[in-house]
A and B are shown apart, each in its own frame.
Chain A
Amino acid sequence: MLTIAMPKGRIFEEALELLRKAGYALPPEFVESRKLMIDIPEEEMRFILAKPMDVVTYVEHGVADLGIAGKDVLLEEERDVYELLDLRISQCRLAVAGLPNSRLNDIAPRVATKYPNVASSYFREQGEQVEIIPLNGSIELAPLIGLADRIVDIVSTGRTLKENGLVEFETIANVTSRLIVNPVSYRMKDEKIDELVERLAAVIANEEKAVL
């Protein structure tokens, strides 16, 4: 049995699609219910539905063998897990944004973000010493109400930024979802995991060819 931790929401749908293409017989609508744990006995799989930031925790502790997590989460959390495959789904980027023509305040440079570790190491590498203000959501508010000059957040289409009158200044990293594996499971369940990775890799390679 393989236990797979998945983030709820869009990534989950896209990942299921990939697994189906890889030939895993998953029922068409098993996300409807509010269940947090779903068993698929035919494929000897169990899915755990979790918050994106928590997926890496489940996998690091080995209560889930595998997980699907955005690169943004992996960069933020730096957990001891194998990052085996780039699934090429849920593409977006971690970016620095703010009000147009604004700059970091000299006296009190502040950056608001859901990604305090990523933000602080990025600005440190730029040689800037900034104060990081951790927020849990609606990060775009911070520059509008004068809490911070810059935000570090996920940008996919850029619509939310635009609607709030913000512009993107720099890209920190490109983000896609990754297949992650617990180091112990990677050895104790190596045959099952290698097979899953191989089948998924073939699907991803095919889709890339189709795009080209």
Chain B
Amino acid sequence: MSKLFTFEKPLGMRDTLPFLYNVKKRVRQAMAQELEQWGYEFIETPTLEYYETVGTASAIADHQLFKLLDQQGHTLVLRPDMTAPIARLAASRLYQHGNPLRLAYHANVFRAQQREGGRPAEFEQIGVECIGDGTVTADAEVIRLMIAALENVGLERFAVAVGHIGYVNALFVDVLGNEERANVLRRFLYEKNYVGYRHHVKSLPLSSIDQQRLLKLLELRGGTEALARARELVQTEEGKKAVEELEELWHALKLFGVTETIKIDLPLVSHMSYYTGILFEVYADGVGFPLGNGGRYDELLEKFSCKAPATGFGIRLDRLIEALPEAAADNEIECIVFSQERFAEAIQLAEEQRKKGKKVVLQHIAGIGDIDAYSKRYNITYLLGRAGKEN
């Protein structure tokens, strides 16, 4: 490796300068306020977790994990998401009496990037986990809450695509007979390769009716009419149950008044094995990547020896900020530049102004390198020379 420049940071790591810091703070607060108003309680978990437990349970692929060793030789990971640590915490301590638990978080997560090394490898996520409630109303609540939180931040044009992995699995197993073949097709959907999916379906020794059923899955996009078409493609109990859940979800979201933003998207497979039911992704105008995603993960808590259904969402703060209209710099800072003889007066003035809620810097004139450059940065009040004289 070539010699590092002194200003260099590890690949994908970024500094947050004051302007961005303020924007992030404002967006985080607006999101958090909404989450709290729905009764979700914020928690923090450690940055480091054991690879064997949280690392392997996480939805994030192994090659994206930052790993290190502790002094005892255990492999640790920098948390790649917040869902797995929260599942660990809920399973071991908080989830009791089978009653639902509503938790929220905002935290930096770490994911090593494979290509274009400058993409963020550490970024902040904000989201919720609703643990212990297996009803569709819980799915509807987290989707509604995600929309409410995004609206509270001021996001205008966005859409939520909603799928159901149980539906996809039921259709595949019904037509193809076994899980292994279903897995091949599921991978095509996960890779968003619809051309490959169609080629593969056409190469399978199936009746033309069954081929059509598999091909029609790709067209199950839209509103309630897509659900009606979805119902026609499945015959098994599992398949029908999945459609019923989606209908129930649609009904609940209608009561919440947010179906405008929702797009049914049954071929949506956002992970190969993690989600177990309803799942979703959220997109906004002006950003090429999803802002966040979520869904039902009823099998995760089992990995921490506690069986419980769960659902939640996570939003990437960096992408959300990119989607928002550019924020004006609203960070006015006052500055009192004083000379030694008026120090006491400066202290008093600063305290008065701070009490009024202003941000005030107290700066000795002798500490300033270039007063012209300095005065471009702050609104300066000068307390110089003999006391009693302005400026």
Q: Which residues of A contact B (CB under 8 A)?
A: 60-63, 80-86, 178, 182-184, 187-188, 190, 194
Contact between chains at A187 and B192 (CB < 8 Å): no
Residue ID in chain B nearest A86 by CB atoms: B195
Main secondary structure of the interface of A (DSSP, over half): mixed
Contact between chains at A184 and B284 (CB < 8 Å): yes
Contact between chains at B195 and A84 (CB < 8 Å): yes
Contact between chains at B289 and A83 (CB < 8 Å): no
CB-CB contacts below 8 Å: B183-227 with A: 192-196, 198-199, 221-222
Contact between chains at A184 and B194 (CB < 8 Å): no
Contact between chains at B288 and A187 (CB < 8 Å): no
A60-B288, A62-B289 as given contacts; A187 in contact with B193, CB under 8 Å: no
Contact between chains at B221 and A184 (CB < 8 Å): no
Flag B300-319 by CB within 8 Å of A: 1 or 0 each: 00000000000000000000
Residues on the B chain within 8 Å of A182, using CB: 288
Rounded to whole Å, the gap between the CB of A79 and the closest CB of chain B is 9
> Contact check: which of A82, A85, A183 meets B283 at CB < 8 Å?
A183
Rounded to whole Å, the gap between the CB of B345 and the closest CB of chain A is 55
B161 adjacent to chain A (CB < 8 Å): yes
What is the CA–CA distance of A60 and B195 in the complex, to the nearest angstrom? 17
Between A and B, 6 residue pairs with Cβ closer than 8 Å are A62-B287, A62-B288, A183-B192, A183-B289, A184-B287, A184-B290
Rounded to whole Å, the gap between the CB of A8 and the closest CB of chain B is 22
What is the CA–CA distance of A86 and B86 in the complex, to the nearest angstrom? 43
B157 adjacent to chain A (CB < 8 Å): yes
Residues on the A chain within 8 Å of B59, using CB: none
Residues on the A chain within 8 Å of B195, using CB: 83-86, 178
Residues on the B chain within 8 Å of A183, using CB: 192, 281, 283, 289-290
Residues on the B chain within 8 Å of A61, using CB: 288-289
> Contact check: which of B194, B198, B283 meets A187 at CB < 8 Å?
B283
Contact between chains at B288 and A188 (CB < 8 Å): no
Contact between chains at A190 and B193 (CB < 8 Å): no
Contact between chains at A190 and B221 (CB < 8 Å): yes
B351 adjacent to chain A (CB < 8 Å): no
Contact between chains at A190 and B288 (CB < 8 Å): no
- Which of A62, A182, A187, A188 is most buried by chain B, counting CB atoms within 10 A of its CB? A187
Residue ID in chain B nearest A59 by CB atoms: B288
Contact between chains at A83 and B263 (CB < 8 Å): no
A83-B194, A83-B196, A84-B195 as given contacts; A184 in contact with B263, CB under 8 Å: no
CB-CB contacts below 8 Å: B82-104 with A: none
Residue ID in chain A nearest B158 by CB atoms: A188
Residues on the A chain within 8 Å of B263, using CB: 187, 190
> Contact check: which of A62, A83, A188, A194 meets B193 at CB < 8 Å?
A83
B285 adjacent to chain A (CB < 8 Å): yes
B298 adjacent to chain A (CB < 8 Å): no
Rounded to whole Å, the gap between the CB of A81 and the closest CB of chain B is 7
What is the CA–CA distance of A61 and B222 in the complex, to the nearest angstrom? 24
Question: Which 10 residue pairs are nearest across A and B when measured between Cβ atoms?
Answer: A62-B288, A184-B283, A82-B192, A61-B288, A86-B195, A187-B159, A83-B193, A187-B283, A83-B195, A187-B161
B265 adjacent to chain A (CB < 8 Å): yes
A187-B265, A194-B221 as given contacts; A80 in contact with B287, CB under 8 Å: no
- Other than the given A83-B194, A83-B195, A187-B161, 16 more pairs (CB < 8 A) read A60-B288, A61-B288, A62-B289, A80-B192, A80-B289, A83-B192, A182-B288, A183-B192, A183-B283, A183-B289, A184-B288, A187-B263, A187-B281, A188-B157, A188-B159, A190-B263
